[in-house]
Every structure is written in C-alpha cells, then in structure tokens.
Amino acid sequence: MPSAATLSVGRAPARSIGIRLRRIRHRLRIPLFCYIALLPVLALFLYVRIIPIGFGFVLSLYRWNMISPRKPFVGLANYIQLFGDENFIAALKNTTIYSFATVILTTILALPLAVFLSRQSRLSPFYQTIYFLPVITPLIPMSIAWKWIYDYNYGVLNYLLSLVGLPAVPWLTDPSIALWAVILMTVWKQLGYAMVLYLVGLRNIPQEYTEAASIDGATDTQRFWRVTLPLLRPILLYVLVTSSISSFNVFAQVYVMTVGSQTAPGNALRVLVYDIYTNAFQFLHMGYASAEAVMLTMIVLGLTLIQFRAVRTDTAKET
C-alpha cells in the first residue's frame, strides 16, 4: 500500500532513493491517472475539432482549389470577395430571417401553451406527448412529408386554401415564399421542445409567488405579466439565444425541400450552410468556402457573447 510507504519515510533515511521514487509515484498517481484517462478523448478532440478549426482559418486566407495544384496565399481577399457576392449576401439575409423568425414564432406559440398546460393537470401529459411528437421524428422523412403538403399542384395546403377561395401558392418554388414555408415547418418541429423547457421553468416558480399575487387581487393576465414572466426571464432568454444560435446551421430541411429536380437550381433557398456546401464541394473553392465558414463561426460567437452578457446582467440584477 502506498500510504504505508509514505508513513515510514521519516524513520528510514537509508532506503531514501527507493522510497522517494515511490513517494513521487504516489504523488503523481492521481494526475497520471487523469492524463491517461483523458488522453483518448483529448486526442480525438484535437484531431476532429481543434486542428480543423485552426486549419479552417488558414484555408480561408488561401485561394485553395481542390483540383488545382497552385494554392496561392491571398490574405483577406476571400473575405473581401464575400461581401460582393450576391449569393453570400442572400444566404446571410435568409439565414438571419430564418433564425429570428423561427425563434420568435416558436416562443409566441410555446409560451402560452406551456402556461396553459402547467395549470391544468389531467390532460396535460396527453397534450405534452402530442406536441412533442414532431421533436423526436427524424427531420428528413418529415421534410419529405412537408414537401408533399406544400406541393403546388396536389398539396393539401393549397387545397385547403382553395376551400376558402384563396389562390394556390408556389410554396417551395419561389425562394422568398420557400423561406417562410421552411420557417413554418421548423416551428412545427421545434414547438414541443420549447414547450417542455418552459414547462420546467414554470414548474420551478414557487407557488407562493403566484398565490400571493392572487390574494392581493391580481387577475390572471396581471399575474402572468407581472409575476410569471419576470420569473421565467432567465429560461426565456436562454432558450431564445441558444435556439437562434443553433438555427444558423440550418441545412437538412432546406436541402430536402427546396433543392432537387422539381425546382430549378436557381430557385434553391440559399442559406449559409448550403452556400458553404456548394462553394466547397460543387465548385471546389475550399478557401473561399472556408472564409464563409469563418463568418458563420463569427456570427455564432457573437450571439454567444450576447447570451453571456445577458445572463450575467440578469444574475447581477437578482443579487
């Protein structure tokens, strides 16, 4: 036992070298274990995260074409070119609208839903399950199903519109409408998740607060705006920022619903990741696409900083 060895140190100076070695081993035992345990994870982490992130920054400074052997250093030229690139500007605009619109619409629907479900208990689990269903269904098959719903000629949505006398809408073939079609579908998909998060937040609000407000004669609406909402603020803020961050990587549903043989290539709904993908893997402009990817990182980083700020001022206010 190592602990016995350390105890006898003082009394046996003659065997000091062996004991000192053992003592060092004992002292290093824990850190050694830590490094050995972390080694595989950190090695993997280095190879699939750190190196590519660094390599991406470097790539963005080169004119790096997959098939051309000459890859000259061009400095910030890729970035400068980006801001004159119509496709990039369109992608940036669409992605921004998409992110904020899905987040805002989801919140507007999920918050009242959660408030209502938190008050009534009998049917609440049933509704929670139903509203959560889209969250766990895989995205691609559901995008295919929605594409069929949005179909110009035979889609149910246009049929429903025709019932109330409205003209058919080219939901997915006109990019400016397709943006909203994708937003709608995504709200459908995410609503249940936000609802569950808000439900947890509501459950964590101590009942005394709302009861006290009722005793003081507050109406339901007053109670919601003056008591529940301020107490829900931290979660609300957290959900808003994290979901807008993750919305910036939108790709799968856009790819399935608006890219394809039915729609002309020019009609595809441009979002950042799709633009990065086409630049890098169709036109093989890896350097240029990397500059675009760096821009995506910057946006996400900016939003994260805003989140940290907001959360910090929020907790500062509470104390």
Partner 1 sequence: MVVGKRTPLQRICHLAAHALLLAGALVMVMPMIWMLVTSFKPPAEIALWPPAFWPRLPTTANYTGAFQAAPFGRFFANSVAYAVVCTLSVITTSLVAGAVFGKYRFPLRGFLFGLVLATAIVPFEAYMIPLYLQLVQIEWINTVQGIVLPYLFMAFGIFLMRQHVSSAVPGELMEAARVDGAGEWWILRRVIAPLSGNALAAVAILAFNQAWAMLIWPLLVANDQSLFNMELGLTTFQFAFSNDTGKLMAGSVVSVVPMLIVFLLMRRRIIENMALTGLKG
Span 167-186, contacts to partner 1 by CB under 8 A: none
| DSSP assignments along 29-71, one per residue | HHHHHHHHHHHHHHHHHIIIIIHHHHHHHHHTTB--BSS-S--
**Within positions 94 to 133, which residues make up the interface with partner 1, using CB under 8 A?**
109, 113, 116, 119-120, 127-133
Give the burial class of 287: count Cβ atoms within 10 A of its Cβ; 0-12 exposed, 13-18 middle, 19 or more buried. buried
Q: How far apart are CA 176 and CA 255, in angstroms?
A: 15
* Binds partner 1 by CB under 8 A, chosen from 82, 91, 111, 294: 294
Exposed / middle / buried, residue 307 (Cβ in 10 Å: 0-12, 13-18, 19+):
middle
Q: What minimum distance in Å lies between the beta carbon of 119 and partner 1? A: 6
Q: Shortest distance, CB of residue 68 to partner 1, whole angstroms? A: 14
Query: Which residues does residue 65 pair with via DSSP β-bridges, in sequence order?
Result: 285
State both tokens at 35: 């490094």
3-class SS of residue 82: helix
Name the amino acid, one letter, at 273.
V
Q: Return the residue of 10, 13, 31, 266 that touches partner 1, per CB under 8 A.
A: 31
Least CB distance from residue 281 to partner 1, whole Å? 6
Q: Is 167 left (phi over 0), alpha (psi -120 to 50) or beta?
A: beta
Stretch that binds partner 1, among 18-26, 173-181, 225-233, 284-292 (CB under 8 A): 284-292
Q: How many residues bind partner 1 (CB under 8 A)?
A: 96
Binding marks (x or -) toward partner 1, 229..258, rule CB under 8 A?
------x--xx--x--xx-xx-xx--xx--
Comparing C-alpha atoms, which of 125, 269, 130, 116 is closest to residue 191? 130
Binding status of residue 20 toward partner 1 by CB under 8 A:
no
Q: Which of 97, 139, 218, 237 binds partner 1 (CB under 8 A)?
A: 139
Alpha helices in 60-138 (DSSP H): 77-82, 86-119, 124-136
Residue number with CB closer to partner 1 (101 or 289): 289
Which residue among 7, 21, 72, 148 contacts partner 1 (CB under 8 A)?
148
Contact with partner 1 (CB under 8 A): which of 48, 80, 108, 229? 48
Near partner 1 in 60-99, by CB under 8 A = none
The C-alpha atoms of residue 136 and residue 234 are separated, in whole angstroms, by 26
Which residue of 10, 13, 40, 165 would you call a contact of partner 1, by CB under 8 A? 40
Task: Mark the segment that binds partner 1 (CB under 8 A) among 10-18, 83-91, 151-159, 223-231.
Answer: 151-159
Between CA 91 and CA 280 the distance in angstroms is 15
Residues 253-282 that bind partner 1 (CB under 8 A): 255-256, 260-262, 273, 276-277, 280-281
| Three-state DSSP class for residue 73 | strand
Please report how the helices 124-136 and 175-203 are oriented relative to each other, as an axis angle in degrees rounded to 10.
140
> Quick one: which of 12, 108, 200, 229 contacts partner 1 (CB under 8 A)?
200
Contact range with partner 1 by CB under 8 A, out of 14-22, 48-56, 80-88, 96-104: 48-56
Residue 284: left (phi > 0), alpha (psi -120 to 50), or beta?
left
Which one-letter amino acid corresponds to residue 203?
R
Does residue 283 interact with partner 1 by CB under 8 A? Answer: no
Nearer CB in complex with partner 1: 16/200: 200
Among 94, 99, 278, 290, binds partner 1 (CB under 8 A): 290
Per CB under 8 A, 37 contacts partner 1: yes
Shortest distance in whole angstroms from residue 232 CB to partner 1? 12
Amino acid making up residue 302: G
Whose Cβ is closer to partner 1: residue 162's or residue 222's? 162
